[in-house]
C-alpha cells in the first residue's frame, strides 16, 4: 500500500510565542482531495504551509509520501496569497522564466489556455487585474505538474467565470491522480469535489475524515467571511 501523501503527527507551529497550529495529527491518502475549513485565524494557512514544507514544525512531524518533507518539495506545489509575479514581464515571460529556472515540464501555451489567459499572454503583468494575477499563479502551478497541489483561498479575487475555471482545474488534477488540498471559506462549493475534510478551530484539528463536512451535507455553510487575512503567520 502506498504511504500517505501527507502525514502529520502532533504537528505545531508558533509565531512570536503564539501557537498558530498545534497538535495536528492526520493522514491524507495519495490521490485524495482534502477540504480544509474553519473561521478566520483558525490556522488554515499555517497548516497548508506545513503540509507543503514551506514551514517547518516547531513540534511534531510532517512527512510527505512516506519520507521527510524537504526532499519531496520538487513533487509539491503551493498556491498562496502572494503570487510572486514579475510585474514588468508579460504573463508568458513569467511562465517561461518559471519553467526555465524550475525545470518545469508543462507547456506554457497549454496552461495559458487552460486558465483563460492566452489572449492576454503578451501583456505585462502590471496591467493584469487581481483575478488575472490569480489565474497566472494557477498557470505556474500547472506547469509544475505536481503530485501534491495545495491551494490557499483559491477563489479569492476571481469572478464567477474564474470560479468555474478553478472548479474544472480541480476536477482535472484530481482525475489525474494528483493529491489536492484546498483551504477555503467556499465550503459548500468545494464539498461537491472533496473526498476528505479537515476542520480547524483556534489552531486545533476538530474534525477529520472521509467525505464532505456534515454541515455541508445538511446544506449549511460554514461560518466565516470570504478572503481570510494572513494573520496566522508569515
DSSP 39-92: STTSSHHHHHHHHTTSS--SEEEEEETTEESGGGGGGEEEE-S-----TTSBHH
Could you tell me what percent of the chain has a pLDDT over 70? 91
At 51 the pLDDT is 97
Query: Would strands 196-201 and 204-210 be described as parallel, antiparallel, or unpaired?
Result: antiparallel
At 187 the pLDDT is 96
What's the CA gap between 184 and 34, in Å, rounded?
11
Residue 130 grid coordinates: 487581481
At 122 the pLDDT is 98
Residues of the chain with pLDDT under 70: 215-234
What's the CA gap between 187 and 197, in Å, rounded?
10
Contact in structure between 192 and 163 (CB atoms under 8 Å): no
Percentage helix, strand, coil for the chain under 3-state DSSP, each rounded to 5? 35, 25, 40
Q: Of the candidates 79, 63, 65, 83, which has an alpha carbon nearest to the alpha carbon of residue 1?
A: 65
Q: Of the candidates 42, 70, 44, which has an alpha carbon nearest to the alpha carbon of residue 56?
A: 70
At 128 the pLDDT is 97
Residue 23 grid coordinates: 497538535
- What architecture is the 6-217 domain classified under in CATH? 3-Layer(aba) Sandwich (3.40)
Query: Model-level pTM?
Result: 0.89
At 215 the pLDDT is 67
Angle at alpha carbon of residue 201, lines to 199 and 206, rounded to 5°:
50
Spans of all domains in the chain: 6-217
Q: Of the candidates 133, 123, 135, which has an alpha carbon nearest to the alpha carbon of residue 93?
A: 123
Amino acid at each position: 500500500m502506498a504511504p500517505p501523501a501527507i502525514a502529520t503527527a502532533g504537528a505545531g507551529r508558533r509565531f512570536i510565542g503564539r501557537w498558530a497550529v498545534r497538535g495536528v495529527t492526520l493522514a491524507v491518502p495519495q490521490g485524495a482531495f482534502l477540504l480544509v475549513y474553519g473561521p478566520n485565524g483558525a490556522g488554515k494557512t499555517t497548516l497548508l504551509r506545513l503540509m507543503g514544507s514551506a514551514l517547518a514544525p516547531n513540534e511534531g512531524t510532517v512527512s510527505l509520501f512516506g519520507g521527510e518533507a524537504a526532499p519531496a518539495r520538487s513533487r509539491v506545489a503551493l498556491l498562496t496569497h502572494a503570487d510572486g509575479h514579475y510585474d514588468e514581464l508579460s504573463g508568458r515571460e513569467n511562465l517561461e522564466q518559471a519553467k526555465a529556472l524550475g525545470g518545469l515540464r508543462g507547456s506554457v501555451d497549454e496552461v495559458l489556455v487552460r486558465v483563460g489567459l492566452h489572449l492576454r499572454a503578451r501583456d505585462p503583468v502590471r496591467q493584469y487585474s487581481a483575478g488575472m494575477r490569480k489565474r497566472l499563479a494557477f498557470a505556474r502551478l500547472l506547469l509544475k505538474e505536481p503530485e501534491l497541489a495545495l491551494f490557499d483561498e483559491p477563489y479569492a479575487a476571481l469572478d464567477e467565470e474564474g470560479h468555474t475555471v478553478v472548479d474544472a482545474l480541480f476536477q482535472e488534477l484530481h482525475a489525474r491522480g494528483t493529491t489536492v488540498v484546498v483551504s477555503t471559506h467556499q465550503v459548500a462549493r468545494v464539498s461537491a469535489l472533496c473526498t476528505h475534510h479537515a476542520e480547524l478551530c483556534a489552531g486545533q484539528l476538530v474534525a477529520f475524515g472521509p467525505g464532505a463536512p456534515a454541515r455541508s451535507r445538511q446544506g449549511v455553510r460554514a461560518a466565516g467571511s470570504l478572503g481570510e487575512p494572513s494573520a496566522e503567520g508569515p
